Amino acid sequence: AQKVTQAQTEISVVEKEDVTLDCVYETRDTTYYLFWYKQPPSGELVFLIRRNSFDEQNEISGRYSWNFQKSTSSFNFTITASQVVDSAVYFCALADQTGANNLFFGTGTRLTIIP
């Protein structure tokens, strides 16, 4: 069965600090995709990254970086030098061959950046 766990319900950090959001997943498939989405107060889910199970290279995009480790089934997200605009709820999601046409989301982490 598919499962995504985001153990951190809420995180608050002071602006300019670095912050890491944790994501642990479960799947029996060998081929799967992992995602991160940002949900600001407006409600729209904003796509951040998609990573397939065969690509374990870490990725950096500006202040954002992602650490994918298959050995621990984790796909963690780090924001460097956080800004107030980063305040939002962040969701990790999984798509595998069982649910090929849909995403399984975690419960989200609410990130608050304190000015």
Partner 1 sequence: DTGVSQDPRHKITKRGQNVTFRCDPISEHNRLYWYRQTLGQGPEFLTYFQNEAQLEKSRLLSDRFSAERPKGSFSTLEIQRTEQGDSAMYLCASSASLHGYTFGSGTRLTVV
Task: List the one residue from 50, 55, 56, 98 that touches partner 1 (CB under 8 A).
Answer: 50
Of 4 and 19, CB closest to partner 1: 4
The C-alpha angle with vertex 109 and arms to 105 and 114, in degrees rounded to 5, equals 155
Task: List the one residue from 25, 68, 75, 91 that touches partner 1 (CB under 8 A).
Answer: 91
Task: Give the nearest distance from C-beta 115 to partner 1 in angstroms.
Answer: 25
DSSP string, the chain: --EEE----EEEEETT--EEE--EEE-S-SSEEEEEEEE-TT-PPEEEEEEETT----EEETTEEEEEEGGGTEEEEEESS--GGG-EEEEEEEEESTTTTS-EE---EEEEEE-
Task: Give the nearest distance from C-beta 17 to partner 1 in angstroms.
Answer: 25
Does residue number 105 form part of the binding site for partner 1 (CB under 8 A)?
yes
Does residue number 48 form part of the binding site for partner 1 (CB under 8 A)?
no
Range in contact with partner 1 (rule: CB under 8 A) among 19-27, 46-54, 55-63, 68-76: 46-54
**Which residue ranges make up the site for partner 1 (CB under 8 A)?**
4, 33, 35, 37, 42-47, 50, 91, 93, 95, 99-108
